[in-house]
Amino acid sequence: MTFFWKVSYRYFVLPILWGGFHILGLLNRKVHQGLQGRMGLEKRARDRRASLGDESLILFHCASMGEFEALHPIAKKFASKKIALGVIHFSPSAEAAAKKSDCFAFADYSPADTRRSVRRFLRALRPLALVITKHDVWPNLIWECQSVGIPVFLVNASFPLNSRRFWPIVRSFQRALTMSFRSILAVSPDDAQRARRITPQNVPIVVAGDSRYDRVTERIHRAAAEIPFPQESLVSRCVVVAGSTHATDEAIILPAMATVIRRHSHLLCLLVPHDPEPSVLKNIEASCAALGLDFLLLSQWRAGVPLGQVLCVDRVGILAALYGLGHLAYVGGGFDKGVHSVLEPMAYGLPVLTGPNIEVSHEARVAKTRGILQLAMDANQVEMWIEKLITDDNARDRIAEKARIFMKERLGAAERIVDYLEKELKLP
């Protein structure tokens, strides 16, 4: 069956997929950036191998910026080892953060997932192992690693209950991929149990936790330095941080904020769109105007200028720090494909609200059972939630304590992952 899936993917699925990327690249800036970034990748790989000499290299792979952040604490645990670390990423969103990181010898795009591109890339770089975080599994990359004897590990692995990976036909394809892993390191016992449904018995599945908890906790200690305006300007304000929002979230949160602000004028919404493109910002501004909300872009703020009622953040990379200014957090994506990360607000002890789609997030599902996270179905429920918690300090304090315990219980995954990799790779 594996042979069937290899042929199907390589000669039918991939040409359509790759052709679609090139067509989409004509219309989408990020896709175009990713295609351009892969040009010259093989030569850069040869140059990096030449600069490393005979030094062993562990190659990490992530999808985008969120997954890249989870690799930081893992890479830092390797700092004392005599081994080089490199990272490749699929999305342009990880490019700036990866290049600024001092944890890796290099950072670059992942190769196009054709046999020829992957084979040449691996031959040029000669990694000791490939470590993929969370879910960004590209078939030819996995299969070519197996063919040349490069062990592949999947870490921070999450297998949501409603994942398409468990659909009948897809499950067979997934099994053809997971059989090529050396090991899978799952984030929880439930995820490990679900992973076994699509993984052969000879592939070990280990519960190691999620290194994102280590990274988030690490970041909050230096987050204040990332905030681009003086915190004293918020002394008399109650702040709701609406992070990683989509249009579907903004259609819910903004009317709710408008209603509550009429009763509580000290309320401020820090709105952080998931994709702050000019067209997105223009739509948010128009919505605020229609609702009678004072709107200000962060890039337009100057000392002495009032923050207004909705401060819209039109830059990326500072959301984790901004949660530290909040009293409550609304996390976007729950009315779209799935909620974004709820770890950062919980690290600050914030009550969290989101839309109903949380199945993609293990931590969101567990936080809901702990009473840290609540679901809203419409603007009215958002309004009631904000009203209750900004007027009940004791309720906020109880949730904050639950959130701190939740985060503390889950620290240490990075160390467990590194210990496992060292043992499997027989590193000194």
pLDDT digits (tens, 9 = 90+) for 205-245: 999 999 999 999 888 776 666 777 667 778 889 999 999 99
Rounded mean pLDDT, 109-126: 96
Rounded mean pLDDT, 277-281: 94
Which residue, 210, 240, 234, is CA-closest to 376? 240
Instruction: For residues 156 and 152, give the distance between their C-alpha atoms in angstroms, rounded to a whole number.
Output: 14
Domain boundaries, the chain: 48-211+412-425, 223-409
pTM, two decimal places: 0.86
In the predicted model, is pLDDT for residue 374 greater than 90? yes
Sheet holding 152-157, edge to edge: 106-109, 84-89, 57-62, 129-133, 152-157, 183-186, 205-207
Q: Please name the residue that has the structure tokens 């790779």.
A: 425
φ/ψ of residue 132, rounded to 5: -100, 135
Instruction: For residues 372 and 401, give the distance between their C-alpha atoms in angstroms, rounded to a whole number.
Output: 9
Phi-psi region of 315 (alpha: psi -120 to 50; beta: other; left: phi over 0): beta
CA atoms within 13 A on the CB side of 340: 22
Under the banding of pLDDT at 50, 70 and 90, the label for residue 95 is: confident
CATH topology (fold) of 223-409: Rossmann fold (3.40.50)
Q: What is the pLDDT of residue 407?
A: 94
Q: Could you name the CATH architecture of 48-211+412-425?
A: 3-Layer(aba) Sandwich (3.40)
Q: What is the pLDDT of residue 96?
A: 79
Instruction: For residues 126 and 114, give the distance between their C-alpha atoms in angstroms, rounded to a whole number.
Output: 18
In the predicted model, is pLDDT for residue 122 greater than 90? yes
Rounded mean pLDDT, 384-402: 94
42-52 tens-digit pLDDT: 999 999 999 99
| Listed ranges 23-37, 95-109, 121-135; the one with the highest mean pLDDT | 121-135
What is the bridge-based pairing of β-strands 310-312 and 328-331?
unpaired
In the predicted model, is pLDDT for residue 79 greater than 90? no
CA distances from 87 to 31, 68, 152, 243, 407 (A): 20, 9, 14, 27, 27
Fold agreement (48-211+412-425, 223-409): yes
Q: What is the pLDDT of residue 234?
A: 82
Tell me which of 306 and 245 has the higher pLDDT: 245
Q: What is the pLDDT of residue 156?
A: 97
Q: What is the pLDDT of residue 185?
A: 98
Instruction: For residues 127 and 129, give the distance between their C-alpha atoms in angstroms, rounded to a whole number.
Output: 5
| Listed ranges 56-60, 81-85, 229-233; the one with the highest mean pLDDT | 56-60
In the predicted model, is pLDDT for residue 403 greater than 80? yes
Q: What is the pLDDT of residue 74?
A: 96
Q: What is the pLDDT of residue 225?
A: 64
Q: What is the pLDDT of residue 232?
A: 73
Tell me which of 419 and 227 has the higher pLDDT: 419
Q: What is the pLDDT of residue 235?
A: 80
Question: Percentage of residues in the chain with pLDDT exceeding 70?
Answer: 98
Tell me which of 301 and 278 has the higher pLDDT: 278
Least confident span in 161-170, 197-206, 331-340: 161-170
316-355 tens-digit pLDDT: 888 988 999 999 999 999 999 899 999 999 999 999 999 9
Instruction: For residues 130 and 136, give the distance between their C-alpha atoms in angstroms, rounded to a whole number.
Output: 12
Tell me which of 198 and 301 has the higher pLDDT: 198
Instruction: For residues 188 and 245, give the distance between their C-alpha atoms in angstroms, rounded to a whole number.
Output: 27
Q: What is the pLDDT of residue 224?
A: 63
In the predicted model, is pLDDT for residue 138 greater than 90? yes
Q: Output the CA torsion 384→385→387→388 (10° steps).
A: 110
Which residue, 145, 141, 308, is CA-closest to 239? 308
Least confident span in 25-34, 106-115, 409-418: 25-34
Please list the residues that pair with 131 across neighbouring strands: 60, 153
Average pLDDT, the chain: 92
Q: What is the pLDDT of residue 357?
A: 95
